[in-house]
A and B are shown apart, each in its own frame.
Chain A
Amino acid sequence: MWDYTEKVMDHYRHPRNVGSIEDADAVGIAGSLVCGDQLKIYLKIENDIVTDAKFQTFGCGSAVASSSILTEMIIGKTVDEVRKITNKDIADELGGLPPEKMHCSVMGYEALEDALKNYKAEGYVDLDEIKANDEENKIICTCFQVTKKTIIDAIKTNGLKTVDEVTNYTKAGGACGRCKGDIQKVIDEYYNGKAEKEDIKDLTPTQRILKINNIIETQISPELVKDGGDIELVDIKDNDIYVKLRGQCSGCKNSTMTLKLFVESTLKNALGSDINVVEVN
């Protein structure tokens, strides 16, 4: 049995805003019947504000919960605000999802993105942008029809490092597995090329906290748990990242070394920028 949060259970038991909108201003679709989940989202937009949103979902409990909460998150927001919502925001709003179910939140994000892409396209087609998007729209995983862009977005938002993580978040590579090499290439390309240029200062403070926290949760904490300890993010000030060590780690003679060597190098690697890790009690 999955360890779903109360909020996830509440939303699949009582999904909000189910249905369709006849005269919707934007409609977005993600997933397919073959893959085992599909989400359709309908938006009513007036004066640049989302006044209504409805959804229909074919999928598991977390897919329905992600769709349901997404509609709640966007009603009343401006289109620009809605564009900033990521899969992580959806998962966080639900109080978290099991790692194997993160792709459900990604599906919500994709459907939303698809809807807004259609919305923008009304009466305006930017040929240069279409051309630039060709490489991004390349299908990496043919089984689940996952594009390079989807994979890069998931890597960027969630600080993913391994092919398995990409599979958990986007499903890519989850069926025949033939594209695993290509996924590794996308990961390598992202961290070798773009990551070096990307400065975490470019992110909004919230995005930055989320990103750092995600790296700690997915890449650092599991390693420390193996040795009976754990780590918790306390605060971030400029380039200083304050963390608290729990259990076996705190007071351990090696903890300073653990911090300096492992935590810092992992964060530096993932963020591609200079940071200092400070332990607080």
Chain B
Amino acid sequence: MADKIIYLDNNATTKVDEKVLEEMLPYFKEEYANPSSMYDFSKNSSRAIREARGKIKDLLNAANEKEIIFTSCGSESANTAIRGVLNYDKSKKHIITTKIEHPCVLNVYKMLEKQGYKVDYIGVNANGELNLDELSHAITDETALVSVMWANNETGVLNPIEEISQIIKSKNKETKFFVDAVQVAGKIPIDVQKAGIDMLGVSGHKFHAPKGIGALYINSKTMITPLIIGGHQERGKRAGTENTPYIVGIGKAAELAIDNLEYEMTEVKRLRDKLEKNILQNIYNARLNTGLANRVPNTTNIGFEYIEGELILLHLSDLGICASSGSACTSGSLEPSHVLRAMNVPFTSIHGSIRWSLSRFTTEDEIDYVIGELPKIIDEITSISPYQNELKALKEMRMVK
């Protein structure tokens, strides 16, 4: 392994912020009381949870902290919201979602289809932007739920959540709206009230809290049947003794996310743009997969034509650079990413697509290092490609431009 790690895979997971860890530690050691207990000793842990809930409420701008419940991860948040709403009111059997949702959501709908639900999967254009007309036409009186991710994990492309909410409510006031916000927490401002969202899920480890903690916003007008049945915790919506240290962790991470939002939207974006601009300028077979679409500030998805993504990642890994790929080979599934396929990314570049995702811990030196090393790697891999004629033609075409 390389001596130094340059971590540009923050959409997969993030480094735990030192300040988050520090805040958590007392709740592993001294403050281990069950927050539901009746003695004074439990006061600190129950207060810590209350404060953390308040911080998540602030991050999402929810009306009331009672609308926040803690879960174990983003997948649990999504499962609780989707299945919770459908199980509470079983009268309607129509759901609308998108073709580019995360598997933790898509696979829930695949299962619901088997249980008799009709699910419409809305497509995207070549830049990865959702087809809102298609969405609007799909909503009927029978639509129980619309579920749309705020930003896509592979491309970073943002969906216009507020506009979607208005479309839904104008067509059917009863339809519930769930937003998978895992990829936007800490990257753009979230306002669940202004955006008209009924339920919204986040995952701690995507914004510098540890893995194993998530949160779910459910507005006061939305009723669910809980997924995990047991004790009275989380107002009966999620049983199980509260995971105090991790709840404290996600609370602190939310507080830091609010503090650093400005930095993410300016400085992280500047570094992302620098990386993107240099790659596209210096490497002739590089192609920006998202065009001019509106994106989260930390992500760029770039295809390298006529070469394969896993090989790029392996060479990057030798230099300690971590990124990820939508190529078939990395997943072992033989099929390239469902997101890039939904966008009709050409076959010349779909297998060579690399996602770079930065964080507030990414430095300028790291970006400069990648900008310096990447052309050499791409050149080396391109030189062994059997598509030399095609590559030559591509090079000449780009030179003319």
Contact = CB atoms under 8 A, between A and B. Distances in A.
Interface centre among B306, B308, B327 (most CB of A within 10 A): B308
Interface stretch (B19-27, B158-166, B182-190, B383-391): B383-391
Interface residues of A, number: 31
Interface in B132-187: none
B385 A36 contact: no
A33 B347 contact: yes
Contacts of B373: none
Contacts of A89: none
A63 interface: yes
A101 B311 CA distance: 13
Interface pairs A-B: 5 shortest CB-CB? A174-B334, A60-B329, A60-B310, A56-B386, A100-B332
Given A58-B308, A60-B311, A175-B334, A39 B386 contact: yes
Chain A interface SS verdict (over half): mixed
Contact of A61 (B314, B328, B335, B388): B314
Interface in A95-130: 98, 100-101
Given A33-B347, A37-B329, A174-B333, A64 B388 contact: no
B329 to A, nearest CB: 4
B362 interface: no
A15 interface: yes
B318 interface: yes
B348 interface: yes
Given A36-B351, A38-B386, A171-B334, A61 B310 contact: yes
A57 interface: yes
A40 B314 contact: no
27 contacts: A9-B314, A12-B314, A18-B383, A18-B384, A33-B351, A36-B328, A37-B308, A37-B329, A38-B387, A40-B386, A56-B384, A56-B385, A58-B351, A58-B386, A59-B311, A59-B329, A60-B308, A60-B329, A60-B330, A61-B310, A63-B329, A64-B384, A101-B332, A171-B334, A174-B334, A174-B335, A175-B334
A18 B351 CA distance: 21
B54 interface: no
Interface string A5-45: 00001001101001010000000010001101111100000
A29 B386 CA distance: 10
Nearest to B336: A36
Interface centre among B318, B328, B330, B383 (most CB of A within 10 A): B328
Nearest to B305: A33
A167 interface: yes
A115 B115 CA distance: 51
Contacts of A13: 315, 318
A202 to B, nearest CB: 33
B218 interface: no
A13 B377 CA distance: 11
Contacts of B328: 36
A131 B347 CA distance: 34
B318 A33 contact: no
B130 interface: no
Interface of A: 9, 12-13, 15, 18, 20, 29, 33-34, 36-40, 55-61, 63-64, 98, 100-101, 144, 167, 171, 174-175
Contacts of B336: 36
Given A57-B386, A63-B329, A174-B333, 5 more contacts: A13-B318, A36-B327, A37-B351, A57-B384, A61-B310
Contacts of B387: 33, 38, 58
B307 interface: yes
B327 A34 contact: no
A170 B49 CA distance: 53
Contacts of B318: 13
A71 B6 CA distance: 35
Contacts of B385: 56-58
Contact of B388 (A56, A59, A63): A56
A255 to B, nearest CB: 34
Given A12-B314, A36-B336, A175-B334, A60 B327 contact: yes
Interface string B289-318: 000000000000000001111110011001
Contacts of B311: 12, 59-61, 64
A60 B329 CA distance: 6
Contacts of A59: 308, 311, 329
Contacts of B351: 33, 36-37, 58
Contacts of B315: 13
Contacts of A55: 384
Interface string B321-348: 0000001111011111000000000011
A39 B386 CA distance: 7
B378 to A, nearest CB: 13
